[in-house]
Amino acid sequence: MNKSEIFEDDLQDLARFAKVISHPARLAILKFLAETKTCISGDISDYLPLSRTTVSQHLKELRSLGLIHGEIDGLKINYCLCQTSIKNFVQLFDLFFEPIVSNSMYCNTVECIIEKNDTEIVSSEKID
Amino acid sequence: MNKSEIFEDDLQDLARFAKVISHPARLAILKFLAETKTCISGDISDYLPLSRTTVSQHLKELRSLGLIHGEIDGLKINYCLCQTSIKNFVQLFDLFFEPIVSNSMYCNTVECIIEKNDTEIVSSEKID
DNA sequence: AATTATTGTCGTATGTTTGCGTCATTAAAC
DNA sequence: GTTTAATGACGCAAACATACGACAATAATT
């Protein structure tokens, strides 16, 4: 049923990255790791209102993409951001959206014309 | 069961954006719209190997975040990118990742040291 | 008026994600 | 050696995502 594989590799990679960062808890973990530089999983579950088990799973997903990694230090595991990997994915994101946001062409829908002229919305022909 | 609401608004917004772009089909639709400027949903389902129904649903999700919008033109609906909205979300993304990728500090894990020195991986202490 | 074309909605089946409690493993402390 | 602490793996239940066929609504064409 899953047709994800049939799309271009770049789209798949970006989609995978987006999926991993598509949960506020995982974003919060990345942010926390950016501040603390390194910490153990217990620090994260103390900081976030989530159980140890749940945090452990979120860490697993971040690890599976290579966004973070952990080094065993006795009983503890010190986690930290993998800057290289994050930079690569951010670049993938930028490469995808750069041509989209830098495109000065607008289509002819009422909303686009409104945005272009920065005036108020008056149309009732809008979908959603 | 869903604890997403308890996180900061910025994290929730970015997570919502990431979720919408976390499917290769939706990225492909954005890319296609960027190229065609405007098109109808049938053009997209002809272009992508997905049924009309599935494309219609993906369009609905893109619309629900405001990434695209459609204007009714008789029987047809012309879809186009909403540049303003996309730019806002891209900015949210950049604001989140800028402090992370520009951070020159590295933690003490073997991987980080390796990355810093750009040499080969030798450790067996790695997790995943 | 009947037909054709374009689209969204509904229902449904299957698969994935989220969140957590319980358990097993392993290292450290006593 | 026994206990304590930190963690991942397993299993489960509820919710959500994916994909599509069938149907309904509506505008255009004949």
Which CATH number do you get for residue A82?
1.10.10.10
pLDDT at residue B105 above 80? Answer: no
For tokens 């009422």, what's the residue? A110
What per-residue confidence (pLDDT) applies to A112? 59
A40 band by pLDDT with thresholds 50, 70 and 90: very high
> Who touches strand C, with Cβ under 7 Å?
A 1-2, 19, 22-23, 25, 50-51, 53-54, 57-58, 61, 74-75, 127; B 1-4, 40-43, 52-53, 56-57, 59-60, 70, 75-77
What per-residue confidence (pLDDT) applies to B109? 59
Q: How far apart are CA A16 and CA B80, in angstroms?
A: 25
Find the angle CA(B55)-CA(B57)-CA(B62) to the nearest 5 degrees: 95
Q: Which of B6, B60, B72 is closest, CB to CB, to A125?
A: B72
By DSSP bridging, strand A39-40 and strand B68-73 are unpaired
Q: Is residue B116 part of a domain?
A: no
Q: Is residue B112 part of a domain?
A: no
pLDDT at residue A34 above 70? Answer: yes
Cα–Cα distances (Å) from B47 to A17, A84, A120, B62, B76, in that order, read 24, 35, 34, 17, 17
Q: Is residue B37 part of a domain?
A: yes
Q: Is residue B128 part of a domain?
A: no
Q: How far apart are CA A20 and CA B25, in angstroms?
A: 17
Q: Is residue A114 part of a domain?
A: no
Element (H, E) at A63: helix A52-65
Q: Which residue has the higher pLDDT, A71 or B24?
A: B24
pLDDT at residue A55 above 90? Answer: yes
Q: Is residue B119 part of a domain?
A: no
Q: Lowest-confidence range among A58-67, A70-79, B99-108?
A: B99-108
Q: Which of B9, B10, B11, B73 to mutate to test the interface with A (most CBs of A within 10 A)?
A: B11
**Structural domain for A69, as ranges:** 4-102
Instruction: Give the total number of structural domains in chain A.
Output: 1
Q: Which residue has the higher pLDDT, A20 or A108?
A: A20
Nearest residue by alpha-carbon distance to C1' of D21:
B53
CB contact under 8 A, A82 and B34: no
Element (H, E) at A60: helix A52-65
Percentage with pLDDT > 90 across chain B = 71
What per-residue confidence (pLDDT) applies to A120? 37
Q: How far apart are CA A30 and CA A81, in angstroms?
A: 7
Q: How far apart are CA B11 and CA B4, in angstroms?
A: 9
Q: Is residue B114 part of a domain?
A: no
CB contact under 8 A, B109 and A69: yes
CB contact under 8 A, A78 and B14: no
Give B56 CA → C13 C1' in Å.
19
For tokens 């994290």, what's the residue? B11
Q: Is residue B126 part of a domain?
A: no
